[in-house]
Amino acid sequence: MAAMTALKVDVPVICCGGATVGGAGKTTVVEALARWIPGAHVVMRGYLGFLPGPTQVTAATPYALVGDEACIHATTTATWIGRHRGLAAQAAVAAGAQAIILDDGLQNRTIHKDVNLLILNGTTGLGNGRVLPFGPLREAFDPLLQRCAAAIIVGEDRTNLRALIADRIPVVEARLQQVLAKPAAAYPPVFAFTGIAFPGKFYATLRASGLHVVGTRDFPNHYPYSRQDWTALLRQADRLGARLITTPKDAVRLPYAAVRGRLEVADTSLLWQDPEPLRAVLRAVGVPLGLPLLN
């Protein structure tokens, strides 16, 4: 079989990808970079969506067509999905993109990347260090690291990732912080639910923000909520005298009129420790930079 040629577009392409399957924090990193880089468009596969693309996603696009993560990005940034990431990036450039942020894609060969950024979860690290199906790694770690210009450790580095890689590529650390619509003291007790890779991260950030979490319920990652699920959640919260709270990614999978006014949505942002090494890596390949990375 002939090797696939990676399509090169006329603007810088920054790829944010993980070493492991799910839960590294790519979505939050991509959101932060999109706010930072003027004229950036997000390009992604559209995981679990039905459309092959290239397609531009809007806030009104049903998540079942393009995936929940694309719908989240589209609320703040011009976003494109496509099974062929190169063609999706080409469409974004034709629409005026000044830079492409590729959400996932370290293993994708349809598009040329100017910078690969490795996103790592400080709590789970590399797991047992083995490749699927015997561990969480998407591929062998050393060859992957050689293709990356910098690493971003999201969350407290409890697995000594910095010590493992800091002598090989620049490392930037960032902590997750909850973004609430009002002061924590103004919230009643909350019942939290989510269908993300590591639900405990969400619950921990809620508690760290000062919310009184009286109950939680986990669902599978990218879970398609039904009306019956929503009704059961409401009953659980009512029994505890609590209000339901979840993530933006979960909220887009609850497309029912009954949800309005009955649900709190708590987003997360990144508190960067020292982003200058990341700025240097991006400047080196001509990525247009706007305001400093804000905490």
State percent of the chain over pLDDT 90. Answer: 77
Residue-averaged pLDDT of the chain = 91
Domain boundaries, the chain: 13-176+270-284, 181-265
Query: Model pTM?
Result: 0.91
**What is the fold of 181-265?**
Rossmann fold (3.40.50)
pLDDT one-digit tens code per residue, 112-142 = 999 999 999 999 999 999 999 999 999 999 9
Q: How confident is the model at residue 291 (pLDDT cuts 50, 70, 90)?
A: low
CATH classification code of 13-176+270-284: 3.40.50.300
18: tokens are: 């993980």
Fold agreement between 13-176+270-284 and 181-265: yes
Q: What is the mean pLDDT of residues 97-115?
A: 94
Please state, in angstroms and as integers, the Cα–Cα distance from residue 45 to each residue in 39, 51, 74, 81, 279, following that order: 20, 10, 14, 5, 26
**Do residues 175 and 270 make contact, with C-beta atoms less than 8 angstroms apart?**
yes
Strands (E), the chain: 13-18, 40-44, 55-57, 79-81, 99-103, 115-121, 150-154, 171-179, 190-194, 213-218, 243-246, 263-265, 267-272
151: tokens are: 């690493």
pLDDT value at residue 3: 53
Q: How many Å apart are CA 159 and CA 28, to the nearest integer?
A: 20
**Do residues 77 and 99 make contact, with C-beta atoms less than 8 angstroms apart?**
no
pLDDT one-digit tens code per residue, 201-232 = 899 989 999 999 999 999 999 999 998 999 99
Q: What is the mean pLDDT of residues 48-58?
A: 93
**Of 24-38, 137-151, 260-274, 280-294, minimum mean pLDDT range:** 280-294
Q: How, if at all, do strands 267-272 and 171-179 pair?
A: antiparallel
Using the 8-state DSSP alphabet, how is residue 258 labeled?
Answer: G
